[in-house]
């Protein structure tokens, strides 16, 4: 007599389907978390073990980089800024991602979809496809980011500068270049020296007038042989910002003038600024003002406190609009560019202050999180507008200094009348002023160090009065910074009209444009 199954007895087919579904879900989860583990569980040990070993190596490398980053952010940047390392990362990421996709497809095969019910078959296909799309997206972003970094290193960081500190400082020449259609060759529109303490990161900015005449070249400069009495000519056209074009043309005619130098104009400009300031310039960084807009947009804009309306346009062109004064004014790239370069109703010295204001804002607002989050856009913009002789091996160290500089007030000095008259400059006064303000910055570092090491009950050390440099007075130097009793908000930069030259130079977290 045949026994009929009761209503409560499980359906063998449904039970088998449930086992297949649970097994398939488990295999897909394993493959998503640890590529190769699904193959090992399914019995394909050869392929699975190889994949797991590769996955383990990748996780180990990531862990090592994470530990390096925790210990020293600059060391991590030094490692990943190596072109060979970036190339290996691109190859490894591409092969690893493609291998992961192949393993996901193989895992889907191991779930044996033909034996499943149609609805489960469709669900597993959709889940597998979603995982493949996710892996492909992560792969694409990773490869594109690494490729952007490699391109940036190859096109921008050509090397040639020296990272050797002089008297405990690294000096970087920041050039804002403008190659307009009405100009002959490229001429730096703004020139600022950032003198940075290699231990504390405390920074002093020195703005050089672009129309400075009779600039002396150091004896070691090839341009000294051409201009032994300084860069001068009868028609007064030999200005500091003309050194770039003059040296570029001279080097093109005489290849022995700057042999092996990628950019003779930039090298000669560094040498001219060295002769004028008495500083050793380690690096230069030149930003094409025409592409500056893209860099600011890639950062998401900058926020400034503006004290005076600035016109958009003017001169030989009509005024198209105004950048209105106010606190917390957020500028996109277009308006930041006009804020920095507008000439209408302003002299060169006011423009110098506005340009320093923008540079300081970028320094304080380009935090590491923003740079990492928008690295691809920044790398693309930077590759199009920036040139520098910083070698890739020094990127980490300079980034570390930049982070330290963000946490401290920035002192800013402009060489303007009556301290320095560009048409008849006294370079002994200029160099003495440079030494004086560096000494003030170093004294602030000493006071800060003493305050950290002194017992909490001890009185705070009093501020030393600025020392007078020989041949000049400190209150003649024009500064765009003013003392503040309490630290202002770090995310804004304050702009105000040009101060009177007789005001004393001090340090502040906010700079004025």
- pLDDT (tens place) for every residue of the chain, 513 residues total: 455 555 555 677 777 777 777 888 888 888 888 898 888 888 888 888 999 998 888 888 888 888 887 887 778 777 877 778 888 888 888 888 899 999 999 888 888 777 778 888 888 888 889 989 998 898 888 888 777 777 767 666 767 888 888 999 999 998 887 655 455 556 787 888 999 999 999 999 998 988 899 999 999 999 999 999 999 988 888 999 899 999 999 999 998 999 989 889 999 999 999 999 999 999 998 877 767 778 788 888 889 888 888 898 877 778 888 999 889 899 998 898 888 888 787 777 777 778 778 877 876 676 666 665 555 666 666 555 678 888 888 888 888 888 888 888 888 898 988 999 999 999 999 999 999 999 999 999 999 888 888 765 545 444 444 444 333 333 334 344 333 333 344 445 455 444 444 333 434 344 445
Report CA torsion sign: 23, 29, 33, 36: positive
Characterise 236 by phi-psi region: left (phi > 0), alpha (psi -120 to 50), beta (else).
Answer: left
Beta-strand (E) ranges in 394-504?
A: 410-414, 478-479, 493-495
Q: CA of 511: how far to CAs of 118, 272, 284, 294, in Å?
A: 68, 26, 22, 23
**Cβ contact 306:323 at 8 Å:** yes
Q: Transcribe 46-107 into DSSP letters.
A: HHHHHHHHHHHHHHHHHHHHHHHHHH-HHHHHHHHT-HHHHHHHHHHHHHHHHHHHHHHHHH
HSE of 435, CA atoms in CB hemisphere, 13 A: 15
Q: Which fold has domain 169-452+462-508?
A: Aminopeptidase (3.40.630)
Q: CA of 465: how far to CAs of 8, 141, 480, in Å?
A: 96, 54, 19
Q: CA of 388: how far to CAs of 115, 247, 391, 404, 485, in Å?
A: 63, 17, 8, 21, 37
Q: Transcribe 489-508 into DSSP letters.
A: -TT-EEE-SPPPTTSPP-EE
- The SS3 of residue 18 is helix
HSE of 57, CA atoms in CB hemisphere, 13 A: 9
Residue 130, token pair as written in the block: 């979603």
pLDDT of residue 506: 38
Residue 87, token pair as written in the block: 């190339």
CB atoms within 10 A of CB 62: 10
Characterise 218 by phi-psi region: left (phi > 0), alpha (psi -120 to 50), beta (else).
Answer: beta
Cα–Cα nearest to 274, from 429, 158, 434, 468 = 434
10 burial level (CB within 10 Å; 0-12, 13-18, 19+):
exposed
Cis peptide bond N-terminal to 418, omega within 30: yes
60 burial level (CB within 10 Å; 0-12, 13-18, 19+):
exposed
**Cβ contact 62:53 at 8 Å:** no
Residue 69, token pair as written in the block: 């980053």
pLDDT tens, 13-60? 777 777 777 888 888 888 888 898 888 888 888 888 999 998 888 888
| Helix pair 83-110, 73-80: axis angle to 10 deg | 80
Is the pTM higher than 0.85? The answer reads no
Cross-strand bridge partners of residue 170: 196
CA 492 to chain centre: 18
Segments of the chain assigned to CATH 3.40.630.190: 169-452+462-508
- Distance, CA of 283 to CA of 495 (rounded, Å): 28
- Distance, CA of 161 to CA of 153 (rounded, Å): 14
- Distance, CA of 472 to CA of 435 (rounded, Å): 11
pLDDT of residue 505: 40
Cα–Cα nearest to 414, from 369, 459, 367, 481 = 481
Any idea how long the chain is?
Answer: 513
Residue 13, token pair as written in the block: 């087919």
pLDDT of residue 110: 84
């Amino acid at each position: 007599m045949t026994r009929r199954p009761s209503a409560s007895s499980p359906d063998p087919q449904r039970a088998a389907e449930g086992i297949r579904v649970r097994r398939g879900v488990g295999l897909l989860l394993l493959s998503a978390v640890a590529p190769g583990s699904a193959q090992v569980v399914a019995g394909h040990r050869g392929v699975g073990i190889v994949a797991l070993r590769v996955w383990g190596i990748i996780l180990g490398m990531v862990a090592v980089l994470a530990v390096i980053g925790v210990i020293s952010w600059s060391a991590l940047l030094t490692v990943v800024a190596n072109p060979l390392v970036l190339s290996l990362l691109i190859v490894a990421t591409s092969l690893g991602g493609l291998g992961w996709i192949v393993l996901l497809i193989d895992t889907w095969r191991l779930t044996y979809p033909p034996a499943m019910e149609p609805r489960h078959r469709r669900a597993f296909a959709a889940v597998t496809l979603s995982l493949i799309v996710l892996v492909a997206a992560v792969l694409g972003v990773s490869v594109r980011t690494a490729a952007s970094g490699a391109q940036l290193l190859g096109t921008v960081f050509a090397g040639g500068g020296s990272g050797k500190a002089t008297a405990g400082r690294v000096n970087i020449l920041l050039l804002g270049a403008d190659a307009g259609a009405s100009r002959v060759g490229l001429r730096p529109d703004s020139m600022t020296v950032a003198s940075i303490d290699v231990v504390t990161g405390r920074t002093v900015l020195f703005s050089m007038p672009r129309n400075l005449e009779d600039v002396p070249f150091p004896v070691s400069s090839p341009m000294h042989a051409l201009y032994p009495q300084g860069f001068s000519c009868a028609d007064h056209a030999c200005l500091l910002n003309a050194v770039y074009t003059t040296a570029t043309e001279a080097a093109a005619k005489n290849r022995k003038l700057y042999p092996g130098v990628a950019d003779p104009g930039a090298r000669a400009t560094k040498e001219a600024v060295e002769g004028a300031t008495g500083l050793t310039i380690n690096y230069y960084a030149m930003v094409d003002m025409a592409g500056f807009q893209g860099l600011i947009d890639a950062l998401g804009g900058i926020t400034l406190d503006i004290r005076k309306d600035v016109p958009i346009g003017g001169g030989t062109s009509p005024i198209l609009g105004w950048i209105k004064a106010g606190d917390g004014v957020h500028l996109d790239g277009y308006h930041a560019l006009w804020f920095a370069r507008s000439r209408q109703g302003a002299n060169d010295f006011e423009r110098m202050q506005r340009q320093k204001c923008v540079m300081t804002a970028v320094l304080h607002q380009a935090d590491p999180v923003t740079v990492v989050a928008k690295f691809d856009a920044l790398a693309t913009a930077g590759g199009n507008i920036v040139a520098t002789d910083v070698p890739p091996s020094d990127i980490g160290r300079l980034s570390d200094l930049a982070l330290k500089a963000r946490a401290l007030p920035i002192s800013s000095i402009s060489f303007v009348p009556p301290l320095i008259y560009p048409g008849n400059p006294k370079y002994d006064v200029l160099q003495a002023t440079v030494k004086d303000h560096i000494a003030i910055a170093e004294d602030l570092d000493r006071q800060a160090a003493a305050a950290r090491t002194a017992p909490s009950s001890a009185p705070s050390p009093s501020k030393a009065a600025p020392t007078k440099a020989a041949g000049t007075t400190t209150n003649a130097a024009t500064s765009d910074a003013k003392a503040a009793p309490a630290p202002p908000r770090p995310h804004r930069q304050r702009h105000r009209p040009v101060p009177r030259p007789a005001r004393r130079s001090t340090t502040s977290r906010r700079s004025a444009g």
